[in-house]
Chains A and B, each alone.
Chain A
Amino acid sequence: MARPKLIKERVPTPERPVEERIKSFVEVNLGYDFASAVKEAERCIQCPPEYAPCIKGCPVHINIPGFLKALRENADNPDEAVKNALRVIWNDNTLPAVTGRVCPQEEQCEAPCVMGKVGDPINIGKLERFVADYAREKGIDEELLGEFIAETDGKGKVAVVGAGPAGLTCALELAKMGYKVTIFEALHEAGGVLMYGIPEFRLPKDILKTELDKLEKLGVEVKTNYIVGKTVTVEELLQEYDAAFISTGAGTPKLLNIPGILLDRIYSANEFLTRVNLMKAYKFPEYDTPIAVGKKVIVIGAGNTAMDAARSALRLGAEVTIAYRRGREDMTARIEEIAHAEEEGVKFEFFLTPVEFIGDENGKVKAVKFMKMRPLEERDSRGKRKIEPTGEYVTLEADTVIIAIGLEPNKILVEASGFETNPDGTLVVDENLMTSIPGVFAGGDAIRGEATVILAMGDGKKAAKAIDEYIRSRRANA
């Protein structure tokens, strides 16, 4: 039998040109159309599912060769092809339009892809996104949703706290099993970081909203403006629900404990991004929430949050510099987003640690003083080179500073409910994701600290299974 010809190179996805995109918050990457998606899917050599390394690399184990096969099997009938592909994806992941956009595929499913050994790995993320987008535009997802609606009679009631990716996934999985689920969310919109953190130009909010519409269609109730620990306690929830899932994330910003931190125009990335994304301050005064960005912005940090803040500030018309205390190869943001930031003109300064914010006579920040750092050969537990101070300083001008050095779990819920926690504030859980309070499970950033969307979703899924078992066994023993 003739060996199939290997196509080494990826079918590219078009992107908006730089000059156009830095003026707006419109999505940068335009994604595949059906013909190019099929072409890319045809590059997959269809490793057997029990072996396929891409499936193992995906934290929720989507049957990747399966959905790629579905796409190309019906190359002459796009609607049918997409419907079959989406069915395969939804078995394991109900938010593909989100994960296809924001997952670091280069570290997950695409990293071990066999094709990566001979050429480019299959562009799994963009294909996943294509399936979700096409289905949404054609209303195919609506049709398919019917297949997943389960009988909800008498199975049990579960409360989910926090409507980020962990909570959404747990709720959707439980609803598919037939549980009656209520999500309690502190903010006025569901989505967690997807709504208030990740900007429109990476994850358009109307796309996110249609993903969220699934909740309602599967019978999940969302109570916004509910702050668990204040509006209602975990104890009270347990009186009404058979179990609870805590997915309150890690939303509290770490601030730098250095002089000048309270000067005007110094934002946490969370405040900055919440104003921009959730409150649409970039449309001020059409929207009421203001944001003040000067001409020269310094962003401190080099994770996804820093890239998002930097690229948002750029779109508000500023000149932006990212200052990071380690080197280029140590940055934790997604490679695609670092590349986008560079193309768009964000400048990078490495091996700089801030030591002081300098203000003007009106209390506004005007410069940041940094200590220069130097890399050592030694590496830390995460494999990053250690750094040490050089004793030399440099001062960079800035009229706005955004701090993006990380987030910690929010303490409202923990303090009010007496959960056992780790020293970093994350909740202690056992191998079934159950917390120190029986019947209360937890996942996502609330147990991991700042991590990724798909890990949060994986936890949500795992917890849904554990909750199902917990409720069944309690009922069996009752």
Chain B
Amino acid sequence: MSYKILEKKEIAMRNIWYRIHAPHVAKKVQPGQFVIVRAFKNGERIPLTPVMWDRDEGWIVLITFIRGRTTMRMASELKEGDELLNVAGPLGNPAEMEKFGKVLAIGAYTGIVEVYPIARAWQELGNDVTTLHVTFEPMVVLKDELEEAVGRHVLETVPIDPNLDFPTNMKNVTKRLTEKVRELLEKEEYDMVFMVGPAGDQRAVFNVVKEFGIPMKSDLHPIMVDGTGMCGACRVTVGGEVKFACIDGPEFDAYQVNWDELIARSGYYTDMEQRAMQEYMKALQGGEQ
């Protein structure tokens, strides 16, 4: 099987669009499911989400945010016509497809790309879906697609202040996110809230939603290795029980999630991730000279 890159383009700052030949996934994938990709021989396995697909033509679209070494390597080393080594999937459970009524579907940063297939399917099913995308100004993606797919698409951008460090800039996004969610929930009555984004932002939004007593679902992103339930790297506590996000999720009831624990677990490899990234950047610079 070859997983050829049929198309590759930068659709926003640090956001790369890949259209990949993967008929086995395209044939079966449902909104809410993900794939595990390994792009290089000495590479790691990372979870990504099919954003769009064509079952007949056998392709899926992946959109990656350049976050660390692997997504960076993919962006800089892979060209149209190249092949990914492995695309395994679809994995995880499909999102629940029901008539919830009026739904607010939130995507922080590149999280919106995972919201897209789900929000679109919910709208098609007869739900009244509002999508909310909060991100940095140069990182807007899928605006036209969402405007077309759902009842209403709300875009909130935050400028990147070059005088502030990145963590502080990110705090501004979190702030705008919670403000905007509060504003929307105060103005209108929603039956359900759904969110994809960093665990810290999810907790912040959940704390607002909780005040309104509205049901909320979250797509959780713990670290994954195999994605098939074989290792437990992706374990999270939900409703007091240990669950594996790759086989029991990735979607969970936000009211049942132990957020503090999840946030602590997402930072486990930070040092090593930075080291991998630095080594890679060094190699890149060395290569240019």
Contact = CB atoms under 8 A, between A and B. Distances in A.
A280 interface: yes
Contacts of B261: 262, 363
Chain B, interface SS category: mixed
Contacts, number: 129
A227 B227 CA distance: 10
A285 B230 contact: no
A191 to B, nearest CB: 13
B242 A223 contact: no
Of A255, A280, A289, A362, which is in contact with the most chain B CB atoms at under 10 Å from its CB?
Answer: A289
B247 interface: yes
B169 interface: no
A231 interface: yes
A255 B233 CA distance: 11
B68 to A, nearest CB: 9
Chain A, interface SS category: loop
Interface in A193-226: 223-226
Contacts of B45: 188, 279, 289
A80 B226 CA distance: 44
B231 A268 contact: yes
A255 B272 contact: no
A252 B235 CA distance: 12
A288 B276 contact: yes
A318 to B, nearest CB: 16
Nearest to A410: B229
A138 interface: no
B172 interface: no
A473 to B, nearest CB: 32
Nearest to A186: B228
Contact of A225 (B88, B273, B275): B88
A476 B229 CA distance: 41
A226 B24 CA distance: 8
B231 A274 contact: yes
Given A225-B87, A227-B91, A231-B28, A285 B273 contact: no
Interface residues of B, number: 46
Given A224-B86, A264-B268, A274 B228 contact: no
Contact of A262 (B87, B231, B265): B265
Interface in A273-302: 274-275, 279-280, 283-290, 292
Interface residues of A, number: 42
A346 B123 CA distance: 59
B88 A253 contact: no
B24 A231 contact: yes
B182 interface: no
Interface string B15-27: 0000000001100
Contact of B43 (A253, A257, A288): A288
Contacts of A114: none
A262 B73 CA distance: 31
B1 interface: yes
Interface string B236-280: 110000100001000000000010010011001100110110011
Interface string A242-265: 000000000111010100011011
A252 B229 contact: yes
Of A223, A227, A286, which is in contact with the most chain B CB atoms at under 10 Å from its CB?
Answer: A227
B32 interface: no
A264 B264 contact: yes
B279 A270 contact: no
A314 B24 CA distance: 41
Given A231-B25, A270-B230, A285 B279 contact: yes
A412 B1 contact: no
B42 A255 contact: no
A261 B264 CA distance: 13
A257 B25 contact: no
Of A231, A261, A275, A410, which is in contact with the most chain B CB atoms at under 10 Å from its CB?
Answer: A231
B229 A285 contact: no
29 contacts: A186-B228, A188-B86, A225-B86, A225-B87, A225-B88, A230-B28, A255-B232, A255-B235, A261-B242, A262-B258, A264-B264, A264-B265, A264-B268, A270-B231, A271-B231, A271-B232, A274-B225, A283-B42, A285-B275, A285-B280, A287-B43, A288-B70, A289-B44, A289-B45, A289-B225, A290-B276, A362-B264, A412-B228, A412-B247
